[in-house]
Structure 1
Amino acid sequence: MSHVSSLPPPDFEEASAYPEVAWLRRAAAAADMEALRRYVDGLPPGIDRSFVVRTVAEVPAVEHVLRGLVAAAPDDVFGLTVLGAREVELGWEIRTASRAQNVSREQFAAFHAHLRTAEQLLIRATALDPSCDAAWAERLNTARGLQLGQNEARRRYDRLAKHHPHHFTGQARLLQQLCPKWGGSWEAAHSFARECMLGAPEGALNAGLVAEAHLEHWGDLGSDRERAEYLRERHVHGELVEAAEWSVSHPRFRRDHGWVVVQGTFAALFSLIGDTARAATHFRALGNLASRYPWSYLGEPADAYVRHRNATLAGG
């Protein structure tokens, strides 16, 4: 137990897992949009560019330079997409992640205003460039926030998938829409997650959506007893084992952006199930890297991570 107790605390800093994030933040803070544009244009074909757009969109006050950029060049797809993502970010900051019944009327009004502004920017971006993956991925966020419904969300995803059939960010956002809390069903969510796994190359992150669907389902159950019973269902464990072997445990697995979330989701679920051997494999692969999701579903993120990691590694 002494070895376990001496392990370092979880590192939730995204740049620790993905060093390019630190540069992206600095460039955005310095308003060097041309450097950011060159970076995006230089990424290999097939790369999920949403992580760049989301990183820039999270930089405080970046909307001011982006609004000037779009005003000067209304057909700039990069500027439209990043500003649209920033408007989404500003809206969700106001709404928060709370359940709808805990969000005030004033919060919803401001939230929807930002999302409607984002919609106009992103519609223009996808009209100018129908293959712009990051813009379509953001339009999945606006569809959910504006409650445009399952059919519209699926239509947007299909437009994205036409050009990017295994787009992990887009798939993760549609999966959220397919959950009951956003008007979907567990049948639809689990079916889509499996479809994503089977359609993607082995070793890709996409199979991690199977684990995300199970975590969402587990978290939506009303009592500890129901949650425990769910995790005892044989098919749940079997599907998680299969999904891990298709993704983060596969020999072709690469640490693409998002791998920490996927690895952590498997670690959390196997730990909850009591499969300490498999949970330990995922914790060891992480080192001390972590992301707030999935650990926020298990309590205060740092405490939940440490509790499950230490219990797992002490036993395995």
Structure 2
Amino acid sequence: MSLRSPLPPPDFELASAFPEVAWLRQVAAASDWTAVRQYVDGLPQGTDRAFVVRVLAETPGVEQSLREQVAADPYDVFALTVLGAREVDIGWGIRTSARAKNVTWEQFARFHAHLRDAEQLLIRATALDPSYDAAWAERLNTARGLQLGRNEARRRYDRLAKYHPGHFTGQARLLQQLCPKWGGSWEEAHGFARECMLGAPDGTLNGGLVAEAHIEHWLDLKSEARTEYLHRPHVHAELTEAAARSVLHPQFGRPHGWVTVQGAFAALFSLMGDTASAAVHFRALGGLASEYPWSYLGKPAESYVRHRDAALARG
């Protein structure tokens, strides 16, 4: 499909939504960990630091200077966490996002080796500071990748939630663990998503978990069953409530992660044919986009343009 459209193409650059990302990438690439640490330490109380750690972990080549940092100070919780997250990122890059049946034995072996290295670093970080949210959030990734099971993942999430109730990144990672593809069930996944939404203040991201659960459920169905699923009245009602409690609430402040959550609602309302509701979310996005959920619908940019243009033309 051509991307010719009367509107600009979608902007998938994370730094367009959060300008600090460009600076974080620059200083991480320069191994200026003092500047990064000062930035992280100065974040307001309650900030989801997992977002910043993930930005740093996705910066190519930072693992070498981080290993030097950890070797020089084995008690540096921040360096342990970022290096652990970097090992996770390298490992998942080797495994890819393919279903297990499409991943080779060699890929799995290398993937697990990096996750085991990450696990040791992150265990040390959470032992030194049991309240460090980003380390627990990464340990939810290693629990899933190493197939440690739902009980262990829930234990880790409960440790995180003890200090950081309503931690969106942690909840999103546990939600993935609760989906059938990782050994859970749809009853568990939808129940947890709703529990997170109801347990959080209105105007926060947590309602977006309801949308994520429905996207995952929709994707898991055979093609002929997907339309029927989205036309179930309770699905539309749950999404409408979740959007009102989160991204459409007057108190919503667009924290880290909001583009992905807003996009999830835009995609779902588009798929179910509610172009008026989808248009509200596309207008709020203003052309910003993230790979998820649009990669689930085909080529991300093409999917975004197709659904956006249809929604704005009718809604």
Residue aligning to 1:124: 124
SS of the aligned residue for 1:5 comes to: coil
SS state at 1:177 partner: helix
- 1:31 aligns to what? 31
Q: Alpha-carbon deviations, 1:18-45, whole Å to 9, x = none?
A: 1110010001001000111111100011
Say which SS state the counterpart of residue 250 (structure 1) adopts.
coil
Contact 2:5-2:305 at 8 Å conserved across structures: no
Q: Give the deviation of 1:113 after TM superposition.
A: 0.2
Which residue of structure 2 lines up, in the alignment, with residue 8 of structure 1?
8
- Shift, 1:99, TM fit: 0.4
Equivalent-residue separation in structure 1 for 2:231 and 2:243 (angstroms) = 18
Partner of 1:279: 278
Deviations 1:72-102 (A, max 9, x none): 0000000000000000001001000000000
Q: Which runs of 5+ in 2 are unaligned?
A: none
Aligned length: 312
Task: Name stretches of at least 5 consecutive residues in structure 1 with no aligned partner.
Answer: none
**d(CA) in 1 for partners of 2:251 and 2:314?**
29
Moved over 3 A (4+): none
Q: Does 1:76 align with 2:76?
A: yes
Does 2:277 align with 1:289? Answer: no
Quote how far apart the aligned CAs of 1:5 are.
2.9
Asked if 1 retains the 8 angstrom alpha-carbon contact of 2:28 and 2:36, the reply is yes
Question: Per-residue displacement from partner, 1:227-277 (whole Å, max 9, x unpaired)?
Answer: 011001000000000000000000000110000000000000000011111
CA–CA distance in 2 between the matches of 1:294 and 1:60?
24
Paired residue for 2:187? Answer: 187
Root-mean-square deviation over aligned CA pairs? 0.7
TM-score, normalisation: structure 2: 0.98
Alignment of structure 1 residues 106-185 onto 2, 5 Å = 106-185=106-185
Q: Which amino acid aligns with 1:71?
A: A
Query: What letter corresponds to residue 120 of structure 1 in structure 2?
Result: Q
Q: TM-score, normalised by structure 1?
A: 0.98
Distance 1:240 1:72 in 2: 49
Structure 1 residue 6 displacement after superposition: 1.6
Match in the other structure for 2:220: 220
Distance 1:85 1:231 in 2: 35
Q: Which whole-Å CA distance do the structure 1 matches of 2:234 and 2:100 have between them?
A: 32
Deviations 1:14-70 (A, max 9, x none): 000011100100010010001111111000111000011000000101000000000
Whole-Å separation in 1 of the counterparts to 2:8 and 2:258: 20
